[in-house]
Structure 1
Amino acid sequence: MQSKCMTPLLRSLRAFSSSSSTTSSDKIVASVLFERLPVVIPKIDPVVYAFQEFSFRWKQQYRRTYPDEFFKKYESRGKGDYQIDYVPAPRITEADKTNDRRRLYLLLHGTPHATPGGKPVWHFPEKVYENEDTLRKCAESALKSVLGDLSNTYFVGNAPMAHVAVQPTETAHDLSPFKVIKRFFFKSQVIAANKLNISKCDDFVWVTKDELLEYFPEQAEFLNQMIIS
């Protein structure tokens, strides 16, 4: 049951909503700063390494011994033109060698929801605020429409991390009656996943903070203050 006590922020957002009965020239948009944190694998503690070594040697004492004929058959098995040599991926990546611990941020290429019918551009996952209970729910819906589900994501807090009001471009003015687009940014992070199924966009890219500022030079100062890394 929805509480009768509505926060001032939510009350103001509903006033700006395009689905509200109150006519407004502003549009509310929930944008998601979706980041992939660096994975730092610490070195094995000497005590843990010693236990693993002892455990291995202990198991070797009681392992089953197979005759030499068995190994000969095993070695000859599977050889042929169809055989594919398996090479495991290296545990140490190029980022480990260069000590690269930068965070990566997701950008999508396509038509933003704030300016439907406009020219495809690079933008954050976003959704126009309509009749969601909270702006956080709107941000979750924006990210879910791109990933399919949010099982491998974590939203940091319920409140926006920042907001900015921008004027639509000249071409967007003809497509939308709104004079100002107010974007509220929410932070979300990737958890327990190495690969995500990103869809519903022309293209996507993971960029560092410095690269992100190059995609939005007109908002570089704002983004630089919003993102702390």
Structure 2
Amino acid sequence: MQRSSTPLARPLVKARGFCMKPEKILASVLFERLPVVIPKIDPVVYAFQEFSFRWRQQYRRRYPDELLDKSNSRGRDDYQMDYEPAPRITEADKTNDRKYDADFSHLTKDFYLLLYGKAVGAPSGKPVWHFPEKVHDSEKTLRKCAESALASVIGDLSRTYFVGNAPMGHMVIQPTEHESDASSYKRFFFKSQVVPANKFDIGDSEDFVWVTKDELLEYFPEQAEFLNKMIIG
């Protein structure tokens, strides 16, 4: 059989060029300000404590009356100062002031910090409400990136506590049809807590607020379900 010298025809395949921007990784910080005072006792717990006290009184050890008389008469002439506890409700609570930055305001609730300004993924670069965040660049870990994001806002982190090294949740944000040139990104959330001790000089933003969990969900209605599940309590 004579072999043809003509090479076999091969289908021409046109290489398709993909122009995909690299996916961005963000570290966001859920900065939580813990309550200053202990919450009120639940009525069920209070009723149990009352029952326990009466039970102990019923079966407590009996002491002679002479000993009780001496102990009761001790300190009768001592000066007694009337003590009035400070109110649990502050002026910031009454006026619903979300920009308070005093040492002792909103004593009984957890609050979270939100910033107003330019954020990654904001449409047309307009200022929006967002968490302290930073695009992961040269940091060794996402935790270090989250620390850098928070430090750029409040400065000193010596009084803050990051809860674990792993993120508490994440979400994937895809560009919309009107933002075909934009790249998708993943946002990883880290929790950091602080007990109110000093005033914070909030920087790197046009505005800021401290909000409760319910108020925080009002700022992100489209992500309310995700945030509600991520924030326990």
* Alignment partners' CA distance in 2, 1:207 and 1:42: 18
| In the alignment, structure 1 residue 37 sits paired with structure 2 residue 34 | yes
Quick one: which amino acid aligns to residue 86 of structure 2?
A: R
| In the alignment, structure 1 residue 163 sits paired with structure 2 residue 170 | yes
* Alignment partners' CA distance in 1, 2:115 and 2:179: 19
1:5 equivalent in structure 2: none
* Alignment partners' CA distance in 1, 2:178 and 2:200: 33
Quick one: which amino acid aligns to residue 115 of structure 2?
A: L
SS in 1 for 2:36: coil
1:168/1:106 CA distance change after superposition, 3 Å: farther
1:74 equivalent in structure 2: none
1:199/1:117 CA distance change after superposition, 3 Å: farther
2:190 equivalent in structure 1: 186
| In the alignment, structure 1 residue 91 sits paired with structure 2 residue 86 | yes
* Alignment partners' CA distance in 2, 1:203 and 1:171: 28
1:133 equivalent in structure 2: 140
**Structure 1 contact 28–129 (Cα < 8 Å) conserved:** yes
* Alignment partners' CA distance in 2, 1:161 and 1:115: 23
String of CA shifts for 1:58-105, please: whole Å, max 9, x gaps.
9xxxxxxxxxxxxxxxxxxxxxxxxxxxxxxx9324169999733110
Unaligned runs of 5+ in 1: 1-22, 44-53, 59-89
Question: In angstroms, what is the RMSD of aligned CA positions?
Answer: 3.2
* Alignment partners' CA distance in 1, 2:89 and 2:39: 16
Instruction: Count residues in correspondence.
Output: 161
2:232 equivalent in structure 1: 228
| In the alignment, structure 1 residue 199 sits paired with structure 2 residue 221 | no
Task: Using the aligned pairs only, state the percent identity.
Answer: 65
Quick one: which amino acid aligns to residue 87 of structure 2?
A: I
1:147 equivalent in structure 2: 154
* Alignment partners' CA distance in 1, 2:178 and 2:204: 23
TM-score, normalised via structure 1 length: 0.61
String of CA shifts for 1:27-67, please: whole Å, max 9, x gaps.
10000000111112599xxxxxxxxxx8xx69xxxxxxxxx
String of CA shifts for 1:174-228, please: whole Å, max 9, x gaps.
5x4x1x2100000001135242111110000000111111100000000000000
**Structure 1 contact 118–171 (Cα < 8 Å) conserved:** no
Q: Which 4+ residue blocks in structure 1 deviate beyond 4 angstroms?
A: 95-100, 113-117, 169-174
Unaligned runs of 5+ in 2: 1-19, 41-74, 80-84, 95-105
1:211/1:42 CA distance change after superposition, 3 Å: closer
1:213/1:192 CA distance change after superposition, 3 Å: closer
TM-score, normalised via structure 2 length: 0.60
SS in 1 for 2:138: coil
